[in-house]
Amino acid sequence: MEKKKQSPAVAFLLRVARSKAFALAIIVIVLGIIIYMINSNFLTRGNLRGSVFVPMVVPGIMLVAVGPLLIGGGIDLSCAAQASFASVIFAQLLQYFPSLPWPVAMLVTLLCGVAFGLINVFLTNVLNFMPFIATIGVSSVYVGVASWWTVMNNVAINNKSFNELGGMAYINNMIPMLFIFMLVLVAVYSYMLSYTRFGRSIYMVGGNQTAARLAGLNPKSIRAKLFINSGVISALAGVVWGAQLKMGHPTNIFNAMPNFSALTALILGGTAFTGGAGGLVAGVVALLLVTVFDNGLTILALANMRGGQPLYGAYVNTTLKGLILIVALILDYVSVTRGRRALEAAAIKGIESEKSVA
């Protein structure tokens, strides 16, 4: 008997149901219900706006900087430092030139992001430094220069029309327009990764450089583009952070480590740390999970006051988020090891079957 052909709609729904993003979304819902049972204020507009949606904006934009590079087999640990420096550059431009339209200041800042990316390209592609070490090194340089420039002070952004982007634009007084912007950015890059030739080449380079070269690709050229993209998107994240807080600061974004939140979310969402697999949509859902988890811990601490003080401090949240990253890396290692063993077993089986035929 012939099997009935599935309709495209049914096939799509089955594919979604089997995806990592769907599984993570179920976990988010269950976690949200548990937190709501502890404290019903979890689902209030104020809490969702200030403790879930707003904190996701900058790390969500960082996903677009970190994700494609990670899938392509690279890594950039300087994203948060680039964003901090970019926030200072943008704020200082508006301070030095009060009549300068903020879109022009943003364009100049994004061009600085191109320069950030080119510096990483020079260090990794030309001097052949390890990306891990090179990007940590330039992080210190950016933070140091920005701190010297501002004498460790914040630089106020007094442009009214720009500040309205971060402080006034909300849908239903809950969802920031910048959050919607972040989702659109992720959607555009997800389409690029899945449905364009360049996106497929990123996966190929990350999965197997030798095979990519034999297919006519240039891994160094592709990673150079990804480093430049990382610099530009990190600079954009710095500008968005400035819109939210109405200032630029040399260390605040760097200390908040949104790049590590993005990295944790990507690995938790199934992006391989060694490259060649993963996606941004599952990363966003994983970021939502981490953010809700963080908010839940805060609510739990406040719900169990002792002597007028929360049960524990913010250090517990930081510790547990670090543990989540470690667990995600362990799961990634196990997945990669199993995949490698399966390939080796298949190769050995193929060789043995060829011998038996001969």
pTM, two decimals, is 0.87
Q: How far apart are CA 126 and CA 147, in angstroms?
A: 29
250 versus 357: which is more confidently predicted? 250
Cβ of 310: how many Cβ atoms within 10 Å? 15
Q: How far apart are CA 229 and CA 64, in angstroms?
A: 9
Q: What is the mean pLDDT of the chain?
A: 85
pLDDT at 38: 80
Q: Which range, of 17-26, 136-145, 266-275, averages the lowest pLDDT?
A: 17-26
pLDDT tens figures, 59-109: 999 999 999 999 999 999 999 999 999 999 999 999 999 889 999 999 999
pLDDT tens figures, 137-196: 999 999 999 999 999 999 999 888 787 776 667 787 788 889 999 999 999 999 999 999
pLDDT at 304: 66
Cβ of 37: how many Cβ atoms within 10 Å? 9
257: alpha, beta or left? (left if phi > 0; alpha if psi -120 to 50): left
Band (1; pLDDT cuts 50, 70, 90): very low
Chain length of the chain: 358
pLDDT tens figures, 207-254: 888 888 888 899 999 999 999 999 999 999 999 999 888 999 999 999
Torsion angle of C-alpha atoms 287, 293, 294, 299, degrees rounded to 10: 150
